[in-house]
């Protein structure tokens, strides 16, 4: 395994800038996840690291070696594809052996490494089967074993779980993460599923419109989003549109005056995480913001309850209440009081 450096990587298709000056460092043994909506450039970035797409500008360095101009077959990057891309005419063992044969590894050594790789993904004894005889989850693990057998400098995962059903996806997530930690793999994964990203990553990269919006840990992104896009994309937020009147005072377009921390006077938005808001039938005390509203929508999500409260004709707040004994769950149409400390909200200037 090795360190991966991406330096000012750009890709342009005609007038369309798919990736803009992306610079990232993935430390040896680190799991980095590229997260973003479809079309944000995350897959293009990964494919440039793999060597399938030639960058318009910038460099890719693998273990200090500049591989920008090398074709994929000379990069030693293991790739797991969304469709698994197993060779359908070869058995599981032959699939895993493929990369080793390309590296002219001795026959006995190949057999041993194939067995090791299959044991690693709990598929020992399945070597003689054809890919189509395996379940989706098993195929996914063969793809992983095939990429790991070549002892790659970096493991690249392109939406590896999106073809699995929801239940299996949760298991495989943990499995891949544990394997990555156990083997100390340097890995880069692309996904649009934020729960997946949060579960697996050491660090996350949020991208949109070809550019990096923020790089950080789960906690960084969730609690200190660098901009409105990240606040919106990672987790849920209520956004109040309006003006920062003075540092610490925000006035919504609906006429509410809210206490916040900091902010430069001017137009902006105030973002609030739904679980940071308290809700009760009577006015609370000790909170910087105390407001009255009417419940418009309640939905039961199991672990939590999603409540939408109308605060003004143009302001609606989302509140999440943990589903515990004695939790306050109002009915639609019921008048309620909501409140939150000033520090719970974050202000983004336009």
Q: Would you tell me which residues interact with other proteins (CB under 8 A)?
A: 50-52, 71-79, 81-83, 85-91, 94, 98-99, 102-103, 146-147, 150, 156
Q: How far is the CB of 350 from other proteins (least distance, A)?
A: 38
Query: With 0-12 CB in 10 A as exposed, 13-18 as middle and 19+ as buried, what is 310?
Result: middle
Report residue 57 as tokens: 């500008």
Instruction: Report the distance separating Cα 48 and Cα 209, nearest Å.
Output: 17
Q: Which is nearer to other proteins, 86 or 269 (CB)?
A: 86
Report residue 127 as tokens: 């070597």
Judge contact between 10 and 22, C-beta under 8 A. Answer: yes
Q: How far is the CB of 192 from other proteins (least distance, A)?
A: 18
Q: How far is the CB of 54 from other proteins (least distance, A)?
A: 13
Q: How many CA atoms lie within 13 A of 55 on its CB side?
A: 29
Q: How far is the CB of 110 from other proteins (least distance, A)?
A: 12
Q: Nearest Cα to 144, choosing from 104, 179, 194?
A: 179
Pairing of strands 249-252, 278-280: unpaired
Q: Which is nearer to other proteins, 89 or 219 (CB)?
A: 89
Q: Which is nearer to other proteins, 52 or 297 (CB)?
A: 52
Q: Which is nearer to other proteins, 147 or 161 (CB)?
A: 147
Our CA angle for 61, 65, 66, nearest 5°, is 55
Q: How far is the CB of 179 from other proteins (least distance, A)?
A: 19
**Residue 223 host element (H or E):** helix 218-223
Q: Which is nearer to other proteins, 110 or 272 (CB)?
A: 110
């Amino acid at each position: 395994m090795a360190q991966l450096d991406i330096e000012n990587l750009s890709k342009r298709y005609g007038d369309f800038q798919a990736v803009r000056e992306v610079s990232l460092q993935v430390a040896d043994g680190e799991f980095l996840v590229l997260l973003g909506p479809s079309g944000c450039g995350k897959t293009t970035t990964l494919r440039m690291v793999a060597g399938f797409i030639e960058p318009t500008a910038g460099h890719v360095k693998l273990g200090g070696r500049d591989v920008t101009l090398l074709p994929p077959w000379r990069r030693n990057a293991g790739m797991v594809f969304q469709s698994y891309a197993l060779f359908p005419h070869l058995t599981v063992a032959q699939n895993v052996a493929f990369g080793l044969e390309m590296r002219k590894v001795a026959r006995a050594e190949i057999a041993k490494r194939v067995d090791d790789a299959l044991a690693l993904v709990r598929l020992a004894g399945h070597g003689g089967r054809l890919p189509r005889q395996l379940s989706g989850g098993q195929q996914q693990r063969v793809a992983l074993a095939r990429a790991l057998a070549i002892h790659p400098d970096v493991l690249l995962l392109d939406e590896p779980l999106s073809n699995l059903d929801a239940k299996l996806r949760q298991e495989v997530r943990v499995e891949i993460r544990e394997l990555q930690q156990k083997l100390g793999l340097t890995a880069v994964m692309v996904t649009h599923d934020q729960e997946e990203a949060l579960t697996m990553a050491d660090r996350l990269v949020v991208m949109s419109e070809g550019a990096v919006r923020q790089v950080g840990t789960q906690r960084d992104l969730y609690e200190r989003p660098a901009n409105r896009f990240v606040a919106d994309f990672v987790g849920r937020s209520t956004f109040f549109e309006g003006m920062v009147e003075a540092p610490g005072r925000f006035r919504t377009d609906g006429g509410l005056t809210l206490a916040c921390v900091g902010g430069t006077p001017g137009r902006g938005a105030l973002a609030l995480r739904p679980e940071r808001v308290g809700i009760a039938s009577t006015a609370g005390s000790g909170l910087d913001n105390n407001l009255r509203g009417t419940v418009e929508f309640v939905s039961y999500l199991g672990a939590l309850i999603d409540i939408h409260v109308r605060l003004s004709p143009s302001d609606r707040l989302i509140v999440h209440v943990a589903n515990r004994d004695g939790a306050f769950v109002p009915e639609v149409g019921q008048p309620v009081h909501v409140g939150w400390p000033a520090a719970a909200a974050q202000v983004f200037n336009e």
